A and B are shown apart, each in its own frame.
Chain A
């Protein structure tokens, strides 16, 4: 038996029907997890059959969104569903064992959706560093192309080269003016 893993997208309204389809075709429920992202929360359902681990991703669920519980098909999912409700704020309708937000004893609501100040600062710093690196790369590329052009102009007829230089200067001035606006 070989182990394989894959990730596929799943629409939020198909969660229950997909669980039923998997159960009918012999798939085993593995888990449900949530990932807190900038656009919302991704919820991932995993099923396995003969070593094939399929992760079905419900993308960009709104925070405090709602999904249909699959507990009537896979009773064992109540642990993950209650956990996601308590930690991420996604609620599941029709859970067979519903702890109504009291599954974990927590000091704050939905702790996994809180972006800590350290994490936020790190993300901003990384975004800034990425932008600086991209600008440097662009500048280097521009310098390289300028050097190439100079080499070509040096090999040209001087009169023609002066015309090209003037045209390039005008183009650069126009671009700078546009940027200033």
Chain B
């Protein structure tokens, strides 16, 4: 065994879209230990809750992350609604889930493109991002925004969709599905991709449970946990929802789970578009959260379970708002997955975990 050397990885690295630093302790070409470091983009967004009232803060919440914008505004709104005992109309619940699942598709396609680029498969990167553009077109037509949607409010949503628009969304998704199936087939059967991912960065089910890993990272290790299983909102009206699982626990399994989740999200949107009830899209929320009242909530973001906490103080400003993101939960799992791997596989393992540092630091 060679002498231990510490190799700094990031925060600026071609494979990292966001600043994450790792101190990799290597012996020869093998990583024997890893210490992650974040803290380069902490913006103190939670502190802003003191100067933005509970209706205004929704716009701060969705700016936590450009990829999970819809999820954060939804998670925040649900938590404040739970704090104030607000019942959201059924139609608004359906619209929220449709936008949230579209956001999952765009997040996964963005990730697949980045992963393909890291494999050295640049044409695949272009195809994934081209398909993602069509999801952004749906956002633009239905909300007016492509990244920051500002469509969720405390008590419902601010925009409705007519049946012709819902029909159009289903048609666009059918087109995406056809093209995406070909891309997915290549991603999952290509020899070079398999060579880089199969058996790399293995995490067993026991490790995933012990390290409280969440999201596709956990589901690729056969952990049957997805916050959508709680059936809240429109998820409860789905005819059948089962999380996508894989027992292999390696980088390939993580790619596969995300690939299949795109198809699952398309099916969810199509089913809800067909079932969406008529009615109001929002209720008027009166009053302020009571002093000392507190509520917690979990939401399945594209990267996994996100925890939200809100506490009122009797005024229109919240006393505290807190988000614990999936990446925060997965960092420890990432260090375990990296131990024992080849130095050349580090970028692949990090990418398949899909860390979102902006979310984590807020």
A interface residue numbers (CB < 8 A to B): 1-3, 5, 7, 28-31, 33, 35-37, 44, 46, 48, 51, 53, 55, 74-76, 78-80, 97, 99, 102-106, 111-112, 116, 118-119, 122, 126, 130
Task: Let me know if A104 and B296 touch, CB within 8 A.
Answer: no
Question: In whole angstroms, how far apart are the Cα atoms of A3 and B213 in the complex?
Answer: 19
A74, A105, A118, A119: the one within 8 Å of B42 (CB): A105
**Considering only CB atoms, which chain B residue lies closest to A119 in the complex?**
B50
A to B contact number (C-beta, < 8 Å): 100
User: In the complex, which residue of chain B has the Cβ closest to the Cβ of A115?
Assistant: B50
Contact between chains at B35 and A104 (CB < 8 Å): no
Map CB proximity to A onto B159-173 as digits: 1 under 8 Å, 0 otherwise.
000000000000000
The answer to whether A76 touches B229 (Cβ under 8 A) is: no
User: Roughly how many angstroms separate A106 CA and B38 CA in the complex, as a whole number?
Assistant: 12
Contact B232 A3 (CB under 8 A): yes
Listed A/B pairs (20) with beta-carbon separation below 8 Å:
A1-B230, A1-B231, A2-B230, A31-B322, A31-B324, A33-B309, A35-B320, A53-B296, A75-B211, A76-B329, A76-B330, A76-B331, A79-B331, A102-B39, A104-B39, A112-B47, A118-B50, A119-B317, A126-B315, A130-B314
Which of A5, A74, A80, A103 is within 8 Å of B38, CB to CB? A103
- Total B residues in contact with A, Cβ cutoff 8 Å: 46
Those 6 A-B pairs whose CB atoms lie nearest each other, nearest first: A76-B332, A31-B324, A3-B230, A104-B39, A104-B42, A75-B332
Complex partner residue of A104 from B317, B324, B361, CB under 8 angstroms:
B361
Question: How far apart sit A30 and B211, CA to CA, in the bound complex (Å)?
Answer: 10
Tell me the complex Cα distance, A97–B33, Å. Answer: 12
With most chain A CB atoms within 10 A of its CB, the pick from B38, B40, B212, B360 is B212
A74–B212 CB distance below 8 A: yes
Asked whether B123 is an interface residue with its Cβ less than 8 Å from the other chain, the reply is no
Given contacts A97-B35, A104-B39, A106-B42, contact A53 B211 (CB under 8 A): no
Closest chain B CB from A14 CB (angstroms): 20
| A74 CB to nearest chain B CB (Å) | 6
Besides A75-B211, A79-B360, A103-B37, 5 more A-B contacts (Cβ < 8 Å) are: A3-B298, A51-B229, A79-B331, A112-B47, A119-B317
Nearest CB on B from A52, distance (A): 11
Residues of B contacting A74 with CB < 8 Å?
A: 212
B311 touches A30 (CB 8 A): no
Cβ A31 vs Cβ B320 within 8 A: no
B residues whose Cβ falls under 8 Å from a Cβ of A:
35, 37-40, 42, 44, 46-47, 50-51, 82, 209, 211-213, 225, 227, 229-232, 294-298, 305, 307, 309, 311, 314-315, 317, 319-320, 322, 324, 328-333, 360-361
Task: State the CA gap A46–B322 with chains docked (Å).
Answer: 12
Beta-carbon contact of A80 and B296 below 8 Å:
no
Q: Which of A31, A99, A111 contacts B37 (CB 8 A)?
A: A99
Say whether A119 contacts B39, CB under 8 Å. no
Nearest residue (CB) in A for B227 is A3
B212: which of A7, A30, A55, A78 is its contact (CB, 8 Å)?
A: A30
Please, which residue of chain A has its CB at the minimum distance from the CB of B288? A126
CB distance from A165 to the nearest CB of B (A): 42
What residues of B have a CB within 8 angstroms of the CB of A104 in the complex?
A: 38-39, 42, 361
A111 touching B44, Cβ below 8 Å: yes
A53's partner among B38, B298, B361 (CB-CB below 8 A) is B298
On whether A28 and B212 interact (CB within 8 A), knowing A3-B230, A37-B319, the answer reads yes
